[in-house]
Amino acid sequence: MDVIKGISQNNFVVVGRVGMDLYPAPGEAIETTNAYTADMGGSSANIAAGIVKLGGKSTLVTSVSDDAVGRFCLNKLAQYGVNATHVTTVGGGARNSTAFYESRVTDHQSVIYRNGAADFEMTLADVEAVDYSQYGALVTAGTVFAAEPSRTAAFRAFELARDAGLPIIFDVDYRPYSWPSADVAADVLSRAGALSDVIVGNDDEFGFMAGSKDKGLQKARDLANATAAIVVYKMGEHGAVTFANGDELQTGIYRVEALKPTGAGDSFMAGLLTSIADGHDLKTAVLRGSACAAIVVAKPGCAPAMPYPADLTKFLADHPGPTANNKE
């Protein structure tokens, strides 16, 4: 399988949730604000929107609640140009995930409601209805594996994508509140990582899968040596190490005045994939992904803050080069 060739089609099937984000004006606290801005959220939906904004195509596979909030999410997907043909609605007690978060770094708070989440109701039938041959690559984020029946369905999507010759791109995206236990999460995320061709995660996430943070870098290296073509080990302000073809590429970050920490990882993934698709070498693609992350943390919102190509070009022209990688 040619991973780069698949990504270069710039046409992705993205498996995972879409939710509603609610955030007050910059600097305001959740508990004292009188107004919120509502927009689309959810790691997979954000990645899908970011891909489209940067010139790619994306189709989302998930479930939403059969109510006004679910319809809000469907409308937002349409506004961002994400194909929602494979987004199903579920009734009963299922409700869309909802996230409240603040646009401030000091004393930042986020509150996420995931109990009875509609996206966890994604079924085998939902993923088996997709014609994977119509896409270049499959993308997913770790929260899709946190509960059943979504977990089994997501692993089935991996099988079907693999059978169709698609590379599998996995954002570890470990969110403890979504999982029944840390042990289950470590086991399931490690299984997903072992099946993936491109793995993106931070030092905490790789450390979690490895059993301790100090073993995370070696975990990323081992995955690259064993099964994955590309592994990106992110270290926040210290940059990233990317493992590919036996090489270790060290990159820094673009410094900005951050307004919030949320959305960086989703924007990084969208920037990385579309930059590879646009023909950039891997190191440049990682740096462009880092620039996309910097753009998002400096603005309110997640999907609405993600850049268009002109925004990314201007950012790169206006900002000095990335910092040196500070890996110990």
Domain span at 192: 3-318
Q: Is residue 173 part of a domain?
A: yes
Report CA dihedral (127, 199, 215, 297) to the nearest 10 degrees: -100
Q: What is the CATH number of the domain that holds 304?
A: 3.40.1190.20
Average pLDDT by stretches of 10, the chain with 328 residues: 95 98 97 98 97 98 97 98 98 94 95 93 98 98 96 98 98 92 94 97 94 93 96 94 96 94 96 98 97 97 97 94 66
Question: pLDDT value at position 139?
Answer: 98
Q: Is residue 167 part of a domain?
A: yes
Question: pLDDT value at position 115?
Answer: 83
Name 117's bridge partners.
95
- How many folded domains does the chain comprise? 1
Beta carbons of 153 and 126 less than 8 angstroms apart: yes
Sheet containing strand 83-90, strands side by side: 83-90, 57-65, 11-15, 137-141, 168-171, 198-202, 230-234, 240-244, 247-251
| 225: its two tokens | 């040596």
Q: Is residue 236 part of a domain?
A: yes
Give CA–CA dist 123/62, Å, rounded. 9
Q: Is residue 33 part of a domain?
A: yes
Q: Is residue 112 part of a domain?
A: yes
CA angle 282, 293, 243 (to 5 degrees): 30
Q: Is residue 134 part of a domain?
A: yes
**pTM of the entire structure?**
0.97
Q: Is residue 327 part of a domain?
A: no
Question: pLDDT value at position 267?
Answer: 98
Residue 78 identity: A
Beta carbons of 105 and 261 less than 8 angstroms apart: yes
Q: Is residue 23 part of a domain?
A: yes
